[in-house]
Structure 1
Amino acid sequence: MIWRLIPVVTALSCFLFSAIHAQQTTPKEAKDSTKKNTEKGYAALLKRAKTADGLFKVHQTEADYYFEIPLSLMEKDFLLVNKISSVPMAINEAGINKGMNTSNKVIRFSLNKNAGAVWVKTIVPQAEAPASDAIALSVKDNFIGSVIESFKIEAYSPDSTAVVVKVNKVFDGSEKSFNDVFTDIGLGTSPKTALSGIEHIKSFPQNVVVRSLLSTSVTEGQSTIAVSVAVTTNLLLLPEQAMQPRFADNRVGFFTTPRWYFSDTQQKMESRDLITRWRLEPKPEDRARYLAGELTEPARPIIFYIDPSTPVQWRTYIMAGINDWQQAFEAAGFKNAIQARLVTDTADFDGDDVRYSLVTYAASPKSNAMGPAVVDPRSGEILESDVIWWHNVMTSLNYWMRIQTGIIDTGARSNEFTAEQMGHAIRFVAAHEIGHTLGLKHNMGASAAYATDSLRSAAYTARMGGTAPSIMDYARFNYVAQPEDKVTTITPNIGVYDRYAIAWGYRWLGDTVTPWQALKVQQQWIAAHAGDPLYHYGEQQNSLNTIDPRAQSEDLGDNAMKAGEYGLRNLKRLVPQIGAWTADAGDSYYQAGKLYMAAIWQWNTYIDHVITNIGGYYLEQPVQGDGQKAYTPVPKNIQQQAIQFLAKYLFTLPDWLFNAAIQEKTFAVKDTPLGPYEYGPYNMKREQQYGLLYSLLGDERLLRLLETEAAYGKEKVFTVSELLNACRKQLFAATQQGRGLTMEQRLGQQNYVDALIVSADKLMEKISKKTLTEDEAATTNLRGAVITAAQAGSNQRNLPALCDLTPRAFRMQYNTANGSNVAEAAALRNIHVSAMARTSGVAAAKRGELYTVLQLLEKSRNTGDTDTRNHYLDLILRIRQHLQLH
């Protein structure tokens, strides 16, 4: 029996010995033991890993990636930036290209010891309160971050100052918390994880760069297309001390980011918009000289690199467009503030790295350019920007210059320009896009600062340096100047407003100046130029509902009727030259057809500029004491001039344009997803005239006319009745005289009656149908575009871009057909006049006009030839059906 007790006693003795020994172990020994276990786990996990140092260490073990995140970086603000790095043909054709920024958000890593995990929270840093105020506690509790991801802690670093987490799932398509690219670009699909993965991860001192290839498929109808996109995700550590912000003022056009301020002394929350701008500050040793008015270099200049894929012959022109902004920064007190550089053998340069601003050259048939920026939402600081330069932008430049200036510039007449001629235009577009990257919005009102006739002066245009006081307008090229004027400065350039706006946003006022103090100084700068049109900012408006005729895209001068008259004179000279300018012996007339279409679009643009005056308001941003009015109706005499112009060039279509001799060789040609479309001349007349008449009779326009009549009285303003009477008098003049009608006269009457009927029907429709949301509409458009592009190789425009370089007329037709103006309308300035429009006087006016026309037709139904009588009968039946008359 004793031998059976020996193991028990031995075990008990060992247990007691171990317990006593454990009680005698020192804290240092325990710590050493924990450290050894930690080191063992860390070493085992990363035994075969390749490691890269940087903001935090990145470890790669075969296909697994680990971040070693220092505990000191927990709860710090990071900006997560997702950018497109490469795309397949299908979405290239739909307007998605390398360099485009798809999503940004602020995140924080948070150590959750209880869960043994690192949580990732997304933060909206929009609210702020003084730390010493009681309300700061409430701000903290009511604006917490939301957890979007969790990483299991795989190991601690040997010194326990960092944790190691595996990060594959947020970059390889398994999870969408960090990168949801296919939703962001409008496809609405998910990555196929078996066909997606991480390509590489790089770590730098202030950021980590992850490149992934994500694959999906898009189905539309019976077609399914595979789509793979390379996406680069940047994790950028935001500055510990955010830049001192500047508040926006609506009288100077800067992009903004919102900010809310809370304090104990308030009676309501203060909401402010922060302008977006680069952090430009004098070097510490130069600050006294800067404040004394001496030009000094900034501590950190703005540097743009030129994409190595940019064709060599265009690099110097793009760089010149960047460097043109030096003059504006000198107005802000800085020299050498903005620089253009070629990419050399910089060891750590990576075009996808958010530390580098790049002019990205996209091989694409898309004709466009854009200049977005990555912004610190805490302060409005621009951290990085990429100009996306689509190769085919030169197509638009070629057509603009030929149509607008070919008559006065012999170098702008052929299908292919000299490198110098095209380079000059490229420089202009580059400068415009760089303006956006500096924080400037479009100033569509700039061109109205110049008297129209001054654009015919060689001396004036040379002195002012272009067609408008701001390159941020869509002023384009000088179509006003006539051949005899000998004007040579015909391209937009950086002007008075641009220098003023950069100085307004960037002049350094010192370390201790608060945003509220800075705004008072900036308001004084605005007041110093009050009333001077050269410094006027005209906010961009919805292209389908432009209210202020001074702030239109692609217009010149202060009088649309006069500018249009000059433009049409040049266009009339140009149309007979189309064949000679586009085709050599043996060439097809395809290019001639496209240039002819561009000429028709230009005519459309001039007409539309004039129409905007009718029912228009001059919009201002008044402040107390400046004596300005927010809303001033366009004077009655100006609107009457507009009607006279329309009678001449819209109600009666120009024979020299629509019956041009070029139609013996080619009709007007427009490229479409299904190939070139050749528009029959009668079809083209009908489409163009109808669209413009429908715009002229639009509900919003008529509602604004009613607003002005209610406010000022019928005698002082142009009224709806006067508009309809003028249209009827011109379009039905031959009917009132009892004469037979030409085909063009019948066309005008048909378009007028149909525009009234269709718009009146829409006005009375009950809003009961389910409509797509903006996101759903965008998704539907892009899905269709991807399928169409893959099948037909189209040049389809589907996603809105910061700068739209397509012709205005085509843009308006496209937006009308596709509804893509919805987001634009929501974002741009408008006057809301359409609530309960069915109960306004618009329906009564349109129906009353139709009844008046009906009475005229009834009296004339038996006059004229057979075609005229049939035409009258058709209109009578249409109107009676609409008015439900029997």
Structure 2
Amino acid sequence: MREKAFLYNLKAILVFLFFLLGPISGYSQKKNKKKENTTEIAKDTTSSKKGKKYNDLVKKGTVKKGLFNIIQVKTDVYFEIQDSLFEREFLVVNKLSQVPFQVNDAGLNKGMNYENKVISFYKDTIARKVWVRSYLPKVSSPKEDAITASVKDNFSESIIEVFDIETKNNDSTSIVIKVNKIFDGKQKSFNDVLSNISFGGSVKSDLSYIESLKAFPKNVVIKSQLTTSISEGGPSLSVTLGVTSNIVLLDKVPMKPRFSDNRIGYFTEKHWYFADAQQAMAEKELITRWRLEPKKEEEERYLKGELVEPKKPIVYYIDPSTPKQWRKYIIEGVRDWQLAFEKAGFKNAIIAKEPTEADVDFDVDDVRYSVITYAASQKSNAMGPSVVDPRSGEIIEADIIWWHNVMTSLQSWMRIQTGPIDPKARGNTFSDEHMGEAIRFVSSHEVGHTFGLKHNMGASFAYDVESLRSKEFTSKMGGTAPSIMDYARYNYVAQPEDNVTAITPKIGDYDKYAIEWGYRWYGNDDNEQLKLNVLIASHENDPIYFYGEQQDGSNLIDPRSQSEDLGNDAVKASGYGLKNLKSVVNNILNWTYEKDKSYYETAKLYIGTIGQWQLYNRHVMNNIGGIYLNVTVHGDNKQSYVPVPALMQKRAADYLVKNVITIPQWLFFNPILDKTNPLKDSPIGPYEYTPYTLSRELQYSILYDLFSDDRLLRMTENELYQRNKTTEKVFTVNELFSKMHQKVFAPTILNKSLSILERMTQKNYVDVLIISTNKLFEKTDAKKTIDIQETLQMPHLCSLDDAHMMRNINQSSLKRVTEVTSDKKGELNKVLQLLKTKKSTGDQSTQNHYRDLIQRIEKALNNTTF
């Protein structure tokens, strides 16, 4: 038995070596060729054995012709792939097409693109397999350079899937593979939906199936129903997701890329370039943009400066599920960009329309169609992502997701920001026309993203605050900022007596300039980069064309580039905003009145007003320790880092003293409280905030951020650098502490009894210093940190730029040995000495308060070790 087994194994090894190494030298070329032929799948005997002969498959099933012919035999699905398509590059695009309640509630909706990857198919006739490989197309090198061989080896493809070759067509120009496993949830190679939407787990294949298939000349569309189970501390729930996978054929020759410039805001794809002539690898970023080109016969006219129609315009379709009364406004918001593209030399470049009977193949999930998808959801948002060819940055298709409840945000903004100057913006329900104009604004903003434009949070800084009160200026400029890509909201600066009517954000001069820079066609002109640089240079000294990158809101450095601010002076703009807020508060009960209705709308408008007050506080606070971060290049004679002027920082501190250290009674303690508390919706239902609790938490939040380590370190850096460089006055950390100390402890210094709010402010001030000082030494009271959260968050749109924040500046190393430690502990000691001196002054509540603070400070200082 052992001898037979040995001989059998030996024979198997010899056969394996024969196939691996090929025939030995004694075999003729003819025999070698004959051997190769025996491995081809064309032999009918092989096909017959498997029962998958091509004609039988076609006869038994249905065939849909397209990029891949799709053959369906009952529940089995086959791709027929032409030989010409092997080793071509495809983009797999996966989207959600249906979601159940649990997923909708988590913020995931129809139309969301959650996974893209570049793949290629490789035919292996020896093994009778088709291998699928994927790679990241982010590396390039010249074909003729020696380093290219190394690039290929060091940035190679990875195998992600394999299929058996089932048969081939009759003229041997295509092969057939069975593809069920990649679309019914058995394999994650083409569609890993659960990981990409952060659900984890696995698909239950017995509860999943392929729903429908479509084939078109350059793509195939496969829809599946994939089921999993989720549990959130309770019983397991079955969740079925409708997913759509597109496989799109990419052009053999990618679009000519355009490299980014940090002085103008485009989304980008990073790319590495290797070449023999280099001394270091070049890392560049390709902007994302549509391939907009003149027709061949009109290239000469275009280059002469005449407006021409593009070879292929950008077309957006309106989701048929969009309520009819809003469709025209969404379409108008798209068409408003026509003028911007005319600056780039193209007319009729943008088309927005509803699908008609002529669009027989229309499908919102088909990547041939850019769709503004309407999502029935409680989420109040909209966003405009795109599907991009990562090889070149070419936008292939755009997906704007429009959540139904975005109108709640629009109404809140308009009532609070413009109610005092616009009677149309006061009621619980707006007219369709008034809401429609707001929808048009959001449509334009989101469509701007699908052109590749990032947020320009610095645009609003271009306008002088007083000009926003000018009817003539606002009518001329047509909006609240020179870019609709800013989060410049409605005109909260204008006062009722100003009679300003142009109060809505519009597409502005920066937007037209950005489109011209990104979309002007230069053909094969070798001087393209030079011409683009000249275009930027001709605009860079005009503040209207300033680009300010979106920043991390938790550590904002440049106060020019803030969200939802207006004008070039946050103190002045916020002061005007407060005047209007007082008017809103005085009218909330009247504006929200509905006979026999609850005070729900009243409470919601009230908390929105408080949120606007907090927004103004932050706009102002970010000037303290702020630095203007300029994008500079050699030869422009500009400073890269410019501290906010000391006078502005002092004015900002004075604003906070007046409006935060002193809690505004008109806002937190008024007749509205006789009817309702401020109310915010939450997953567990409406959540009410009492005025003492809400004012305490919001004040604490400002104080904590005001004395953040990074802010104080920037002020210290400024003091060190500026005093060695110039005699210009600087605003120091000691001045900030002194100004706040004098206000917070003013009644204590005067031996007065403290009110509840005054005691609250002192506790907040002291606690902020204790907690932040302890954090420097990684030590906290009772081994627990206080989690500082935004109690109040105003609604935002399209959080697209999270991965594209402003450049990082390292100020975090070894904070415990910086001046911040000494400054904070010094202020705590100063407060301690004052309280010990005054501990017997004031009424009993005041004295109890002082003793409490003394014990807290002493414990904190004694427990802080080096």
Establish whether TM, by shorter chain, passes 0.5.
yes
2:792 corresponding residue in structure 1: 810
Provide the rounded CA distance (Å) in 2 between the counterparts of 1:176 and 1:663. 55
Decide whether the 8 Å contact of 1:468 with 1:495 is kept in 2: yes
Greater RCO between the two (CA within 8 Å, min separation 6)?
Answer: 1
Q: CA deviation at 1:37?
A: 4.3
Q: 1:263 & 1:202 partners in 2: Cα distance?
A: 43
What displacement does 1:710 show?
2.0
User: Is 1:441 matched with 2:423?
Assistant: no
| CA distance in 2: counterparts of 1:148 and 1:555, whole angstroms | 48
Q: Is 1:281–2:293 an aligned residue pair?
A: yes
The amino acid of 1:548's aligned partner reads D
Q: CA deviation at 1:708?
A: 1.1
Alpha-carbon distance between aligned partners in 1 of 2:569 and 2:557, rounded to the nearest angstrom: 15
Query: In the alignment, is the contact (CA less than 8 A) between 2:41 and 2:167 conserved in 1?
Result: no
CA contact (8 A) 1:35 1:159 kept: no
**Residue type of the alignment partner of 1:729:** Q
**Aligned match of 1:414:** 427
2:350 aligns with one of 338, 342, 356: 338
- Structure 2 distance, partners of 1:151, 1:719, is 68
1:765 paired residue number: 778
Contact 1:39 1:157 in 2 (8 A): no
The residue that corresponds to 2:476 in the other structure is: 463
Aligned with residue 121 of structure 2, among 109, 133, 139: 109
Show CA shifts across 1:283-321 (max 9, x none).
111111000000000000000000000000000000000
Shift in alpha-carbon separation, 1:603–1:488, aligned structure 2, 3 A: same
SS at match of 2:223: strand
Q: Which residue of 2 aligns with 1:787?
A: none
Report whether the alignment pairs 1:659 with 2:637: no
Residue of structure 2 in register with 1:145 after alignment: 157
Are the counterparts in 2 of residues 541 and 825 from structure 1 also a CA contact under 8 Å?
no
**Where does 1:614-629 land on structure 2 (aligned, <5 Å)?**
614-629=624-639
Q: 1:278-677, aligned counterparts within 5 Å? A: 278-345=290-357, 346-510=359-523, 512-514=524-526, 517-677=527-687
1:34–1:202 Cα change, 3 Å:
closer
User: How many angstroms apart in 1 are the aligned matches of 2:534 and 2:222?
Assistant: 46
In the alignment, is residue 264 of structure 1 matched against residue 237 of structure 2?
A: no
How far, CA to CA, are the matches of 2:572 and 2:310 in structure 1? 46
1:30/1:262 CA distance change after superposition, 3 Å: closer
Instruction: Check conservation: 1:307, 1:358, Cα contact below 8 A.
Output: yes
Task: Report the 3-state secondary structure (helix = DSSP H, G, I; strand = E; otherwise coil) of the residue aligned with 2:346.
Answer: coil
Q: Aligned in 2, Cα 1:133/1:822: closer, same or farther, shift over 3 Å?
A: closer
Q: Shift of residue 763 of structure 1?
A: 2.1
Quote how far apart the aligned CAs of 1:115 are. 2.2
| Equivalent AA in structure 2 for residue 554 of structure 1 | E
Shift of 1:30: 10
Tell me if the contact between 1:547 and 1:830 (Cα under 8 Å) persists in the aligned partners. no
Q: Higher mean Cα deviation, 334-343 or 841-850?
A: 841-850
Which residue matches 1:850? 828
The change in CA–CA distance for 1:445 and 1:31 in structure 2 (over 3 A counts) is closer
Distance 1:31 1:685, change over 3 A: closer
Is the 1:246–1:518 Cα contact (8 Å) retained in structure 2?
no
In structure 2, what is the Cα distance between the partners aligned to 1:823 and 1:449? 22
SS of equivalent residue, structure 1 residue 884:
helix
Q: For residues 454 and 209 of structure 2, what CA distance do their matches in structure 1 show?
A: 38
Distance in 2 (CA, whole Å) between partners of 1:257 and 1:603 is 38
SS at 2:686 equivalent: strand
**Post-superposition CA distance 1:500-553 (Å, at most 9, x none):** 00000000011x235xx3222111111111211000000000111111111000
Partner of 1:831: 809
What SS class does the counterpart of residue 555 from structure 2 fall into? coil
Report if aligned partners of 1:605, 1:809 keep a CA contact under 8 Å in 2. Answer: no
SS at match of 1:133: coil
Match for 1:718 among 716, 727, 731?
Answer: 731
Kindly provide the amino acid, as one letter, of the partner of residue 695 in structure 2: K
1:680 aligns with one of 681, 684, 690: 690
Check conservation: 1:601, 1:809, Cα contact below 8 A: no
Q: Is the 8 A contact 1:38 1:158 kept in 2?
A: no
Is 1:447–1:557's contact at 8 Å kept on the other side of the alignment?
Answer: yes
Q: Could you say which residue in structure 2 is the equivalent of 1:7?
A: none
Which runs of no fewer than 5 residues in structure 2 stay unpaired? 1-29, 781-788
Question: What is the CA-CA distance between 1:826 and the residue it aligns to?
Answer: 7.7
CA deviation vs aligned residue, 1:769-790 (integer Å, no higher than 9, x gap): xxxxxxxxxxxxxxxxxxxxxx
Partner of 2:209: 197
Q: CA-to-partner distance for each residue in 1:466-500, whole Å, 9 max, x for gaps?
A: 00000000001000000000000000000000000
CA distance in 2, matches of 1:339, 1:749: 59
Tell me what 1:785 maps to. none
Distance in 1 of aligned mates of 2:660 and 2:669: 15
2:147 corresponds to 1:165: no
Residues 750 and 538 of structure 1, relative CA distance in 2, 3 Å threshold: same
Alignment equivalent of 1:62, drawn from 74, 78, 81: 74
2: CA distance, partners of 1:832 / 1:642: 25
The TM-score, its normalising length taken from structure 1, stands at: 0.89
2:839 counterpart of 1:861: yes
What is the deviation of 1:113? 2.4
Query: 1:46 offset after TM fit, Å?
Result: 4.4
Please report how far the alpha carbon of residue 34 of structure 1 lies from its aligned counterpart in structure 2 after TM superposition: 4.9
How far did 1:823 drift? Answer: 9.8
Residues 32/627 of structure 1: CA separation in 2 closer, same or farther (3 Å cut) = closer
2: CA distance between counterparts of 1:824 and 1:241?
A: 31
CA distance in 2, matches of 1:542, 1:414: 35
Q: Is the 8 A contact 1:542 1:829 kept in 2?
A: no
Counterpart Cα distance in 2 of 1:146 and 1:31 = 25
Counterpart-to-counterpart distance in 1, 2:325 and 2:659: 42
Evaluate the alpha carbon distance shift between residue 612 and residue 46 of structure 1 in structure 2; reply closer, same or farther with a 3 A threshold: same
Counterpart CA distance in 2 for 1:825 and 1:262 is 25
Distance in 2 between the 1:323 and 1:222 partners? 49
Q: State how far apart, in whole Å, the 2-side matches of 1:124 and 1:88 are.
A: 33
Task: Give CA-to-partner distance per residue, 1:375-424, whole Å, 9 cap, x none.
Answer: 00111000000100000000000000000000000000011100000000
Equivalent-residue separation in structure 2 for 1:33 and 1:51 (angstroms): 21
Residue 7 of structure 2 aligns with which residue? none
| 8 Å contact from structure 1 (residues 83, 103) kept in 2 | yes
- Give, in whole Å, the separation in 1 of the partners of 2:41 and 2:614: 82
Distance 2:800 2:211 in 1: 38
Residue type of the alignment partner of 2:854: I
CA distance in structure 2 between the aligned counterparts of 1:64 and 1:409, rounded to whole angstroms: 62
Count of aligned pairs between the two proteins? 817
Q: What is the identity, as a one-letter code, of the residue corresponding to 1:718?
A: F
For residues 743-822 of structure 1, the aligned pairs below 5 Å read 743-765=756-778, 810-811=792-793
CA distance in 2, matches of 1:513, 1:191: 51
Which SS does the other structure have where 1:209 is aligned? strand
Q: Percent identity between the aligned chains?
A: 54
- Whether the 8 Å contact between 1:49 and 1:59 is mirrored in structure 2 is yes
Deviation of 1:225 (Å): 2.7
**Alpha-carbon distance in structure 2 between the residues aligned to 1:48 and 1:583:** 68
